[in-house]
Chain A
Amino acid sequence: MSPTVCVRDLAKVFYDESRGEVRAVDGIDFACCPGEIFGLLGANGAGKTTTLRMLATILKPTSGTATLMGHDVAGDPEAVRRNLGFSSSTTALYPRLTARETIEFFARINGCPKELVRDRVEGLIARFGIGEYANARVDKLSQGMKQKVSIARTVVHDPPVLIFDEPTVGLDVLSAIEMQKVIAEFRAEGKTIIFSTHTMSEAEKLCDRIAIIHRGKIHACDTLANLRAATGQHYLEHIFVHYVERAGAPGGQEIRRDADPGVLGGPA
């Protein structure tokens, strides 16, 4: 199966008055295929969000390339965005629109054919159980309700690639479980899902492959089983610490793509 998302040597450098040059993302490589959940696991500030923002064409890469459904993020950003559903770490919805209006707006702006908009919107309202509050303004909704609306608006134009940036942040346990279930359903529908988190259990439960990202570099990228085998650790938490400590140790380096085929390859 050919990858839908290919990232090669992608880097993003920011310039900060106080810190000078900050390499938020430092030459990362990975690829994802349809029907796969690819997890970016890292601590806060590791470079997860910057990576996802570059894939969503919100930020321009400083160097390297990334393609989504064959479209280059720098060369053809609008085509990339047409094939993408991006859910940021905040629900970030328009408070003065109703849930239904919100979903409908994102369907239209993302180019969903006019004749399909109504069916798509109503279908998602039914699927996510939004019906009871579909006509309520977003600012009146609870965080869990907002998150459902946010997911509905992310997928309403039926994009082949979905990016979720820490989707369960701020959710209660039940809402978080429901969110994980929904993401798994999207995988079953054959969508490519890139998912960032710093919650180990979530990554363990959902991800087909996990990339451990630390200080802008990917230090490991493989299935959970292979990561366990490579490190001799069972829990992902310990696996994560293993790689982070190795990266911080003298002479410690990220896993090179020539040293680990899993970094660039599709699902193992």
Chain B
Amino acid sequence: MTGASSATGGGGRLDWRQVGILYRREIRAALREKTVVINSILMPIFLYPFIMWAALTGILFVQGQTEGFVSRVAVREWPKGHPILRRRLERDEQIQLVEWQRAGGDPERQIKDGKLDALVEFLPASGTNAVLAGNFQARITFNQSKERSASADKRLTSALQQYREDWLKREVRAYGIGPADWQVFSVTERNVASGKQMGTFLMGLLLPILFVVMVAMGCFYPAVDATAGERERNTWETLMSTAASRVSIVTAKYLYVASLGGLAGILNLAAMAATIEPIFAPLLAEAGGTLEFAMPLAALPLMALAALLLAGFVAAGMMIFASFARTFKEGQAMITPFYIVILLPVMFLQVPGLKFTLLLALLPIVNVTMMVRTAISGTFHWVPIIVTLTVSVALIAVCIRLAAFILQFEDVVLGSYSGSFNQFFQERVFGRTRPRKRVPHIIG
């Protein structure tokens, strides 16, 4: 009973027919498992678009609420000769002026208690500033820990600066000096990036991170299910007594975990690509932004490949750790540190001006995420991409070999190995052990 495309391996013959049968069984069972369906299919599609929508809506809501607040401001000693300033503040609909006396004499206390938002004290100008007639100092007291008070500070600062500008213009005009003479130089800003470019830039920052999280999430439960889950159900023994070779069993399990991880990554990218425009653009437009989100079509095959490469590595890594678990809970506990470790390199993506160099192409996880990031922006650095593919494939091969090696030991497979991951390597790989602890390989 050997397939047409068989190869020999350490655990018997690799039979692709057997792999196909085992793989279909794993997938069929997995698609009936709520946890796997939620984590590998539903969450990648709905979670992050929903979370991003909820977060952005929340931010806009808070902003709207803050803008809707009227700032309660107490004023002490209006400056002489500036009635316009008083009229402006009185007319400002976002500012409610409270008499100093009505503030109860201790406005600082009231600001701390949240009963008042800010206090403005107009003081006589001192030093060289006092030379100019009508000059004054303004001191604003507020509470940075209270959103409403911080907002009052911003409004007052803005109003006072605007008044100062207007006052200066008026004063210098009296001396026959035009604004161009006293301002000397002016600063204006112009963003040359189009809305589309800004959208691509934001997608490049956001999507690769979510992509790694989703691929890892997609692999997580299948990896535990395929190893520790099998042990917890006592089905390892049943499976090992079938005619399937060990190497076929491990290959099918690996493909099952990797394909669900890859599926999660692809679904997440597709969901984000499909929802980013309709969800984010209107929200950002409300916030004053004009962004266009468009992903180059040429990026899609590369991103799908990235999902498979990343899933291939993550699946093998997770299976290595989960191989030692005897129960589902143990499996989750063993995989979690690996999950966190693979997310750490993604933080590199936040470094400003990061370029997809050959050096980055050598770093696992980072290389694939950089590949996705640059593909989203429509630039394809082929040499780092080829290096990324080579490094990823090599890494996957090493991890699969390691997983297959670990699963050759009968005590590991049957869940009777009591040592740690580190002990296993010390004993079985480096041979640093007492002879009595050695356990023979199972039969392939």
Give the B-binding residues of A (Cβ under 8 A). Answer: 14-15, 17, 20-21, 53, 56-60, 62, 73-74, 77-78, 81-82, 84, 86, 88, 90, 92-97, 101, 105-106, 108-111, 137, 157
Contacts and interface: CB of A to CB of B under 8 A. Distances in A.
Interface string B239-266: 0111111000000000000000000000
B99 interface: no
B1 A58 contact: no
Nearest to A165: B237
B21, B25, B443, B444 — most chain A CB neighbours (10 Å): B443
Interface of B: 1, 12-13, 18, 21-22, 25, 28-30, 32-33, 233-235, 237-238, 240-245, 410, 414, 418, 436-444
From DSSP, what is the main secondary structure of chain A's interface residues?
Answer: loop
Given A60-B441, A106-B242, 7 more contacts: A17-B418, A77-B443, A81-B241, A92-B233, A92-B237, A93-B238, A96-B29
B243 A59 contact: no
Contact of B33 (A78, A82, A96): A96
17 contacts: A15-B439, A56-B240, A60-B410, A60-B440, A60-B441, A62-B440, A77-B12, A81-B241, A84-B241, A88-B241, A93-B235, A93-B238, A94-B233, A105-B21, A106-B242, A109-B244, A110-B243
B1 A15 contact: no
A56 B244 CA distance: 12
A60 B241 CA distance: 13
Given A17-B418, A60-B441, A109 B242 contact: yes
B234 A109 contact: no
B32 A137 contact: yes
B21 A21 contact: no
Contacts of B12: 77-78
A88 B237 contact: yes
Given A15-B437, A59-B442, A88 B33 contact: no
A74 B443 CA distance: 6
Contacts of B439: 14-15
A97 B29 CA distance: 6
9 pairs of A and B residues whose beta carbons are closest in the complex: A111-B1, A86-B241, A96-B29, A92-B234, A96-B32, A77-B443, A90-B234, A56-B241, A92-B238
A73 B443 contact: yes
Contacts of B436: 15, 20-21
Contacts of A20: 436
Contacts, number: 90
A152 to B, nearest CB: 13
A155 to B, nearest CB: 13
Contacts of B237: 53, 58, 88, 92
A95 B440 CA distance: 31
Contact of A92 (B18, B235, B244, B443): B235
Contacts of A93: 235, 238
Nearest to A77: B443
A109 B233 CA distance: 19
Contacts of A86: 238, 241
A94 B234 contact: no
Nearest to A90: B234
Contacts of A137: 32
Nearest to B246: A77
A227 to B, nearest CB: 30
A105 B25 contact: yes
